[in-house]
Structure 1
Amino acid sequence: MKAVCATDLSAASEAAIETETCLHCLGKIGVEEIHLVTVIPSNVHAGMPGMKFEKRRKRALARYREIIEDAGFAVETHVVRGTPHRRINGVAGTVGASLTIVGSRGKSPLENRIIGSTARNLTRTTIAPLLVNRIERGVESPELVREHLFDRVLYATDFSENADRTFEAFSYLRHATVDAMLVHVRTPKDPGPESGDPRDRLSELAGRLAEWGIETDVEIRQGDPAEELLAVEEAYSATTTLLGSRGHSRLRRLLLGSVTEDIVANANGNVLVVPPERSA
């Protein structure tokens, strides 16, 4: 499995790349080759006063490469220029990546009002499953909030086609997952009784995970999906929340409010977003 790891050469990126436990988790789910990608914005130039981009890039990427190679991975590096989320997706498509990884320091009042961060833009547009590594905020030397990435997985489902496809991620996560919480949030838009009892449907999924030795609980909630899922994530102390992204029209992409984006912006831990089939 190939993974693209996006870095902006910040302290937060270092935390995601240099954490030995994190790299070990990636190895357990089958990642063998990591492509390090750093994107230089088009409006930033090496000749600008005080900007020693070339030396800084080479020095940081060389250090990151050595760390990742020492952990047993094959490594390639890519320095590209342009819009970060577009270029990251471009590299992922070119190398045939099965996973894209990006660090995020999480929510802030500004980030919750304005779409601008690479993590949130990738949530909308990613062509491969996207792992958002949650990094500590407000400290000079940040660390990963949840080092054991896939130890405790919260899987959120609305029983849609893409949610079913998202569940298949357990086919590789199971090698690193100890227990899982399967959650469905009832809303007024839920289908009628003819589609089956949601608890029975969750129990069926739990049975599949039990065959892989994963201890599983199920929970049904009612209310706002994002709020309820975030409440379960906190109570369950999930290391990663697994959910699908259905994708939206161009107009919808300009607006805040999707469940997936709210989870990415506000979750305490890591988030793994699986895009629709059409984007894969």
Structure 2
Amino acid sequence: GVVAMVYALQHDDQITESGMRNDPISITRGIEFSLNDYRESGKAIGAIRAGHLTLMLTAGIDPSKVRTMYMAGASGTYVDPVKAKEVGLIVPYCTLAKQVGNTSLELAKDLAFDPDYLEELNSMRDKLLTDHTMFVSSDIFRDLYTYEYGYWAEGMPLSRYRRALERYGVDGYLDQKEPPRVDRLYERDIREIGESLSALDISPVMTASWSCSRCGKCIKECPEKALSMDDGTFSIRTGYCLGTACQRCQEICPLHSYDYSAYRLS
């Protein structure tokens, strides 16, 4: 949701060198996105972009040759790669973004079925330790993140950052806007993993009730199928619900009687 919000603000020219045209912006009832939220989000985005550049420059990789990006975890599941590229979260020369979902669970499954695979992973780990870059001691990262911080948090013109990148031979890095092709290699965040292994659903359930027409629109609108209703009582499986990052159930209610804040642990 934050990536989408930053993208929307930039795309609609809501961000100026002096601040945000409308501060704060109301997203939904009780939820606002302020200039400070934008700046804090930008610091994180800037650290990732500076990190990508640091790794490529340290390894002698030409950023313009990086055409494929792999996105895992939350980024590999929920983040829109097109918007991520626009705000600077993936290498701008990337033409293909592969979203691979929850790789931690996949690795656990592979190790459970093939314990000998751990030896191969240890060998890979040793190679990574041989060529290790610490951002905290990297002059390149410190230099680049100084400009990122200035741009996101202090209103520094992007032109100054462009001039800094020219010194590293990557001029034009911030100007690549062609949307990447997206290849989603997962079905859901945690998919079914066979008869011998299964994912345990230990997430608590929250319930609430109120007077409504029971039209069921809120249930149909839920993208994660986390919401159900039984005899007038609504139940949410918290492990599936996107919570305040979504709230489509509340927004779709034609009577405006749906109240997400009314839920309590059952």
**TM-score tier (shorter):** under 0.3
**Higher relative contact order structure (alpha carbons within 8 Å, sequence separation ≥ 6):** 1
User: Higher helix proportion, which one?
Assistant: 2
User: Higher strand proportion, which one?
Assistant: 1
Structure with bigger gyration radius: 2
> What TM-score comes out, normalization by structure 1 length?
0.19
